[in-house]
Amino acid sequence: EVKMAWCEGVLSLLLLLAVMATAAPTDTLQKFPLLMPHVKPERAETYFCTPIRIDPTVEYYITAFQPNASMETAHHMLLYGCETPGAEDEVWNCGEMALAQPGIKSAPVCGSGSQVIYAWARDAPKLVLPEGVAFKVGGKSPIQYIVLQVHYASVERFKDGSTDDSGVFLYYTETPQPKAAGVLLMGTGGRINPNSVEYMETACTITEDKVIHPFAFRTHTHALGRVVSGYKVSRKGYFDQWELIGKKDPQLPQMFYPIEKDLILKKGDTVAARCTMESKRDRTTRVGAFNKDEMCNFYIMYWTPSTEPLRQKYCFSPGPPLYRWQQEFSSLPKDASVIPASEESHYYHHSHHHHHY
């Protein structure tokens, strides 16, 4: 019965979009609620996913995201664009790190073509993309489904039988927008030794012939992260010139923060990210999905003056001890781990001979 209701739900959504398309003038922003269907999480640390299928005959342009959640219930929410969803159900368990709720299917967020398009945590405000910038979905785009993932850290509020409809209102238009939005997710594998401070580092060179304008960034670690920073690195003679894209304490709300400085990335430029991890544990901590594990992520949200974003969605390295920045850069940013962002100068020029880890 749920399956039937879900199919009818998808059908009515498609019909609704079709009606809205004919009824509304195309240049007005429309608002679509992507919300949890009144779920009742039973266990702390639950991750639920719910999908919408987008009309494959129409391209929609998402220009803003308005969260509908409060810190007390949702710990964080992510929106993924997928080619196919992880499941066809109305709701499924989609957190590898969580205990699955009995009676509800477990599956990944996306079946294929996964990319993050929005993230919210801890009472972060609405995110409005810059003028003319949009995520293109539906139609011939690789995003045929949008899946909402909500992480419930605590379930105290649901003990009395109340349910949750946390989610995101999507603002969209059918008018094609001149600038395509995209997200590049940087991250590492690797491990952190007991009772140590470790740098987890990654870097990728842009190989596509596009001009990329980063405008927001997000950091993500689990409990051991102290600071996460991302840089643009360009070769100047014998030196690597480092420019800060963004830097945050990952224990602060893990939302998208604006990038203060206008910088552009183009073919041949390198993006690099580092997480400083501090372990007071007597065991080795590895990268993984569970809370006992760690993660090192730096997200760059950008626009590009073309109809398509980068084909590259991810930039991952094996992390420590297999990979370190030293292996490919002649100079490193001065103390990327310690100095607060406000005190950082724009450029760092010093050769690796003077750099001590």
* Residue among 72, 168, 183, 76 at smallest CA distance from 127: 168
Residues 6+ apart with CB under 8 A from 31: 66, 169, 170, 171, 172
Q: Are 241 and 234 in contact (CB under 8 A)?
A: yes
Which one of 151, 254, 277, 301 is the catalytic residue?
A: 151
Q: Are 185 and 273 in contact (CB under 8 A)?
A: no
What token pair was written down for 281? 């544990």
Residue 355 assigned as binding residue: no
Strand partners, 62: 135, 172
* Residue among 66, 71, 62, 302 at smallest CA distance from 183: 302
Which one of 222, 254, 255, 277 is the catalytic residue?
A: 222
Which one of 76, 77, 177, 186 is the catalytic residue?
A: 76
Strand partners, 216: 258, 301
Active site residue 76: yes
Which one of 115, 144, 149, 177 is the catalytic residue?
A: 149
Q: List the Cα angle 269/274/275 in 5-degree steps.
A: 160
Q: Are 315 and 203 in contact (CB under 8 A)?
A: yes
Residue 349 assigned as binding residue: no
Residue 295 assigned as binding residue: yes
Tokens 């602060």 correspond to what residue?
252
Active site residue 151: yes
Residue 220 assigned as binding residue: yes
Active site residue 75: yes
Distance CA 248, CA 246 (A): 7
Distance CA 353, CA 337 (A): 19
Residues 6+ apart with CB under 8 A from 111: 82, 83, 84, 85, 86, 87
What token pair was written down for 72? 């007390």
Residue 350 assigned as binding residue: no
Active site residue 295: yes
Q: Are 273 and 186 in contact (CB under 8 A)?
A: yes
Furthest C-alpha separation in the chain:
68
Peptide bond connecting 321 to the previous residue in cis, omega within 30 degrees of 0: yes
Which one of 36, 220, 255, 301 is the catalytic residue?
A: 220
Which one of 77, 277, 295, 301 is the catalytic residue?
A: 295
**DSSP reduced 3-state for 335:** coil
- The binding site for Cu(2+) consists of 75-76, 151, 220, 222, 295
- The binding site consists of 75-76, 151, 220, 222, 295
* Active site residue ranges: 75-76, 149, 151, 220, 222, 295
